[in-house]
Structure 1
Amino acid sequence: MNTLNEKNLTKAEFISRQILDRISSEAKRSPRLRKNYNFHTSDEDICHRLLNAMEPDSYMQPHRHLNINKDETLVVLRGRIGIIMFDDEGTIKENVLLEPTGSIMMANIPHGIFHTCVSLEERTVFFESKAGPFMPLIPEERA
């Protein structure tokens, strides 16, 4: 089985509850209360796919992606996350609860929309996908 730091590019990768447990434990010990498990092998990859373990007190700054290729897809696998979307003035326009067994479990957030994610339950893990390569946010993308 692959570890968090090594990838075997010749075999399919399967995600077990054991992996969700491991990254959740690492998130709980992290100063940011988050931990990624990347499927992509480099920040330069054209598609970034990852598991994101997030604890309730983690803070994700509201942000947007101005690059037209940077839509984000989130699928909650365990726990609950709130997705909050804002207009350009910072007013909340919409908030949605994602739960794996609820009525909504996935969000596709188009580029240009200010948003943040809030973990509402311990040991929350979601799958995230967006285009690469990684580019740090520029000031116009931060709320």
Structure 2
Amino acid sequence: MSDFFLDAALLDELSARARDVPRLRAHHNLHDSPEAPAHRMLVAMEPGSYVRPHRHLDPNKAETIIVLRGRLGVLVFDDEGRLQAAREMAPGGAVIGYNIPPGVFHSIVCLAAGTLFIEAKAGPYAVPLDAEWGTWAPAEGEPGVAEALAAMGAAFSG
């Protein structure tokens, strides 16, 4: 019966896992396999985790995120990488999540330790196409990630 419930102990354990891995992010899948038609997951994220700007070209892959703990910033870009919108999301805040339609470049930045959110989008999992990555931003592990992350975070300072 305990597998039915998403409780504080699960969220605490997921946050601890995120703190202990180099990407500063940990997932707990609520779907059974990468081939599942709907992907739902809990994600713990810590400040310093880099999510490269990307889009989902599949017309069925809108992406929804709802923040459960902490603070997360969402950034929306045009096709050339110019920032179009930046909103802070937090439980009980003015914005608690987003629903990004397919084809829109976006990213997230963690603004507080212990941030957790639920993410949902259509499956099955597909390796992102080159055209789905924002070419103006470095890939994870490439030079320039620290600068890109600092620039994204600057949209939420002050």
TM-score using structure 2 length = 0.83
Instruction: State the Cα distance separating 1:14 from its structure 2 match.
Output: 1.1
Match of 2:64 in 1: 73
Residues 72-121 of structure 1: CA deviation (Å, up to 9, x unaligned):
00000000000001000000000111100211102000010000011100
* Runs of at least 5 residues in structure 1 that lack an aligned partner in the other structure: 3-12
Matched residue of 2:108: which SS?
Answer: strand
Tell me which of 93, 112, 120 is aligned to 1:121.
112
Instruction: State the Cα distance separating 1:135 from its structure 2 match.
Output: 0.4
Match of 1:42 in 2: 33
Match of 1:82 in 2: 73
Match of 2:101 in 1: 110
* Runs of at least 5 residues in structure 2 that lack an aligned partner in the other structure: 135-158
Alpha-carbon separation, structure 2, partners of 1:90 and 1:52: 25
Alpha-carbon separation, structure 1, partners of 2:37 and 2:105: 23
Q: In structure 2, give the amino acid aligned to 1:17.
A: A
Instruction: State the Cα distance separating 1:133 from its structure 2 match.
Output: 0.1
Residue 21 of structure 2 corresponds to residue 30 of structure 1: yes
Alpha-carbon separation, structure 2, partners of 1:106 and 1:77: 9
Q: In structure 2, give the amino acid aligned to 1:58.
A: S
Tell me which of 97, 122, 125 is aligned to 1:134.
125
How many residues are paired up?
Answer: 133
Q: In structure 2, give the amino acid aligned to 1:127.
A: I
Alpha-carbon separation, structure 2, partners of 1:115 and 1:59: 12
Match of 1:14 in 2: 5
Instruction: State the Cα distance separating 1:18 from its structure 2 match.
Output: 0.9
Identity of aligned residues (%): 45
